[in-house]
Amino acid sequence: PPYPTGTEETAPGKQTATGERTGTGATRRRALAGLSVLGAGALAWTLWPHANDSGRDPSVGATPPARKPSPGGSKPVALPADIRARGSLTVGSDLRYAPMEFLQGGRPAGLDIALAQALGRDLGVGVKIVNGALDALLPGLASGRYDLVLSALTDTAERQRDVDLIDYFRSGFALVVRRADRMTIKGLDDLTGRVVAVQQGTAARDHLAGLGPQKPKIRAFATADEVYADVTKGGSDACLDDYPVAVRTVADHATLAVTGRQIAPRPCGIAVAKSKPALRDAVRASLDRLIMEGSYEKILGTWGVTAGAVTRAKINGGS
């Protein structure tokens, strides 16, 4: 057959995996490439952020620009002396989750990369992006390998026991339909008894399974490509996916569209070791300045995910 056949579910199965970036279990992230071949083996990049950087094509080797005050923004909070002396922030990220962080032409790209560069520009330091597996990022933060972890991490009470999280984005699920159906299907309430495609072992699948008797019929597939193909050909009425991933995917599919609002959004945070409150406060103040001056909104607009914007940088706002 031209498209793989999915498995239609009539009752919720065992929920053992999460699609959120929690660092445990199966994750939703789409592996664009294995770590062994990322960037021809390169695992770290030092980026000197430019004022107009969008995260698409970071430059290397330039002198970091002088920091400029942001009108109406938060007052500057000094970075720790060791980071100021070093002249750069080391940021851990798992570059396999487009459009948040991924490799583009062998270089780091994405919303989180652009935000890291903007923070570095505001704080007057360079940014070293270190690629690592998701499950190893927080242990690396604890050991001092990274100053920050910026990798679309969901802010949860469990994580807050070990690290502080500066909330910078809200990410939930998005409903994707054929473009012709976007005016009649605007939410899950419009899909009772109809078929929704989803990838196996993800939080999106678990969310659908937990909706109760009025939930749609679930058709599960092994891969995301199969999910979107089934919606495109009309096998399923819609699919449910992570919001930023859905936005990026429909950009490459003219017949598909994201419909309605984000579903069950939760905050994502920049992780900082609890032993470094000065660094945490400096980054939080910097993010507030970026929000106030408009740079933050421009970064989200570049990647088409403005629905995930926050209005202030909060610490440990998740639950």
Mean pLDDT across the chain, nearest whole number? 83
Distance of CA 185 to the CA centre of its chain: 25
Is 1 within the bounds of a domain?
A: no
Has residue 94 been placed in a domain? yes
Q: What is the mean pLDDT of residues 228-235?
A: 98
Number of domains forming the structure of the chain: 2
Domain limits for position 77: 35-171+267-315
pLDDT at 147 over 80: yes
The enclosing domain of 154 has a CATH number of 3.40.190.10
Residue 233 inside a domain? The answer is yes
Q: Answer yes or no: is 2 within a domain.
A: no
Residue 138 to residue 132: CA distance in whole angstroms: 10
Backbone angles phi, psi at 168, to 5 degrees: -130, -5
Do 182 and 250 lie in one domain? The reply is yes
- Of 151, 148, 196, give the one whose Cα is nearest residue 171: 151
Percentage of the residues of the chain whose pLDDT score is greater than 90: 74
Residue listed under structure tokens 């699609």: 19
Two structure tokens written together for 8: 């239609």
Angle made by CA atoms 89, 91, 94, in degrees to the nearest 5: 165
259 with 305, same domain: the answer is: no
User: Which tens digits make up the pLDDT trace of 232-264?
Assistant: 999 999 999 999 999 999 999 999 999 999 999
- pTM over 0.85? The answer is no
Q: Do 183 and 212 reside in the same domain of the chain? A: yes
Quick check: is 28 in a domain?
Answer: no
Domain shared by 98 and 204, yes or no? no
Residue 88 within any structural domain of the chain: yes
Sign of the torsion formed by the C-alpha atoms of 35, 38, 40 and 45: negative
Please tell me whether residues 95 and 183 are part of one structural domain: no
